[in-house]
Amino acid sequence: MRKVAIIGVGMTKFGELWDKSLRQLLVESGLEALEDASEKRTLRGKDIEAAYIGNMSAGLFNEQEHLAAMLADYTGMTEGNRPATKVEAACASGGVALYNAYLAVASGRYNIVAVCGLEKMTDLLSGSVTDALVSAADREYEAFYGVTFPSLYAMMARRHMHDYGTTLEQLALVAVKNHRNGYYNPKAQFRRLITVEDVYRSPVIADPLRLLHCSPVSDGAATIILADAKTAKKYTDRLVYILACAQASDTLGLYNRKDLTTMESVVSASKVAYETARLKPKDIDFVEAHDCFTIAEIMAYEDLGFCEKGRGGKMIEEGLTEIDGEIPFNPSGGLKAKGHPVGATGVAQAVEVVLQLREEAEQRQVKGAKIGMSHNIGGTGSTAVVTIYGRDV
C-alpha cells in the first residue's frame, strides 16, 4: 500500500444556510479544497481522477438521489467522464467515503482523488428531520416503537450513568467545552459560550438528554483532496499523511448489543488504526470525535483507549480533554458547536485535523500537535471509522 497524503482541504460554514442549495455547498467546498491544494502548482478539476461523496440521505432531506452524478456534473468531472461514487453509512458517510478514497489511492489505482461530505438538512421541516435521521437505526424494530436518535443515545447515557456513576454534570461539561472551542472556529454553527446551568435549563428532548446535549440540525459540505506521496509533493509542501484509516461494523439495532455502553465498532476500528500506524493512545496529540450527543464523546474517551471503561466522565471533569489538556477532544467545537450536517461530518473532521497539524487553526490551535485522530460514527455505532494523521514524517 502506498503512503497517502491530504493535499487540500475546504469547508463551507456550517449552519442553517437557507440561501444555499445542495449543489452550491458541494461546489463551494470543492473549490476551496482545490485552491488550498494549489500551493506550488494549480490543481485543476480535471486532474482529479475519481471522487467519493459521503451523504446520508439527500433522498429524504432533499428528494435528490444520485449525488455522485451531481458532483461529477457540477464540479466539471464529466469533462473526462471520471468516476464519482456516493457512499452511505448514516452519520459515518463522510468517514466511509474517506476510507474508500484512501484505499483507491493507497492501492495505486488513482493518484489524485477528491472526497466530499455533504448534507443539507434544513430544507426539511424539523418534524420530518427526526424521521429522516431515525432511518440510520432499525426502522421496523426500533423506529416502529417511536424511538428517536436522541432517545437511543439517552438510553446509552442512562445505562452509563447506572453502571459507572457518570453524572449529568459530566455530560453537560462536554457541551460546555465544545462550545468554548467552537467559539474560536469561524466556520462553526454556534459561536456562543454556554454554562452547565444553560445545559440544565435547556428543554428535555429525551430524558436524561436535554437540547444542549444534542448536536444541531445543519447544512454544510467539506472536501479534501488525497494524493500519493510522490504526486502530493508536486502540489504542496504542507503535507499531512493518513497514517491509518480503519472502518468497522456492529449490529444495526442498539438493542442487540451485549454492552450498551461500549461501541465495539470503535474499539475494533481504533485497534486496527493503532496497529497500522504503530502508535498508542499516548502518542495521539488530539482527537476530532463524533459528539453527536454528549454521552458519545464520553464513550469515545473509553472506546478509543484514552481511559478505562467507565472513567470517561472523570476525563472531562478533570479537564483532560480541554484544548490545553492532556488529550484535547474536539478543538473545532465538535459536532455540538461546529454543527453536524450528517454526511459532511466525517470529512469536516479530517479538515480540522489537517488545519491543526499545519498549525493553521489560529485561536483554537492545539499547541505542538503532530499526530491527530478522527472518530466518525454511523447510527448508534453500527459503523465506525477511525483515522490517524501525521505531519510530514
CB of 147 to other proteins, least distance (A): 5
Which residues 355-374 are close enough to bind other proteins by CB under 8 A? none
CA angle 113, 64, 147 (to 5 degrees): 100
Among 256, 278, 319, 363, binds other proteins (CB under 8 A): 256
What Rg, from alpha-carbon coordinates, does the chain have?
A: 19
Residue 252 near other proteins by CB under 8 A: no
Among 125, 144, 186, 368, binds other proteins (CB under 8 A): 144
Taking CA atoms, 310 is separated from 130, 174, 306, in Å, by: 30, 15, 11
CA angle 266, 267, 273 (to 5 degrees): 85
Q: Which residue has the cell 463551494?
A: 28
CB of 290 to other proteins, least distance (A): 20
Pairing of strands 240-249, 50-54: unpaired
- Residue 340 bears catalytic tag: yes
Residue 131 near other proteins by CB under 8 A: yes
What the block records as the C-alpha cell of 22 is 445542495
Among 53, 68, 89, 147, binds other proteins (CB under 8 A): 147
Positive or negative: CA dihedral 85, 86, 89, 91 = positive
Cα distance between residue 322 and residue 213, in whole Å: 17
Out of 66, 91, 160, 375, which one is annotated catalytic?
91
Cα-Cα end-to-end distance for the chain: 17
Out of 179, 213, 340, 375, which one is annotated catalytic?
340
Residue 134 near other proteins by CB under 8 A: yes
Among 24, 130, 231, 249, binds other proteins (CB under 8 A): 130
Cα distance between residue 85 and residue 98, in whole Å: 12
Residue nearer to other proteins on the CB measure, 41 or 139? 139
Which residues 184-243 are close enough to bind other proteins by CB under 8 A? 203-209, 211
What the block records as the C-alpha cell of 260 is 450498551
CB of 128 to other proteins, least distance (A): 7
Residue 25 near other proteins by CB under 8 A: no
Residue nearer to other proteins on the CB measure, 258 or 282? 258
Residue 167 near other proteins by CB under 8 A: no
- Residue 116 bears catalytic tag: no
Cα distance between residue 157 and residue 135, in whole Å: 21
Binding interface with other proteins (CB under 8 A): 126-128, 130-131, 134, 138, 140-148, 150-152, 154-156, 158-159, 162, 203-209, 211, 253-257, 260
Q: Mind telling me the catalytic residues?
A: 91, 340
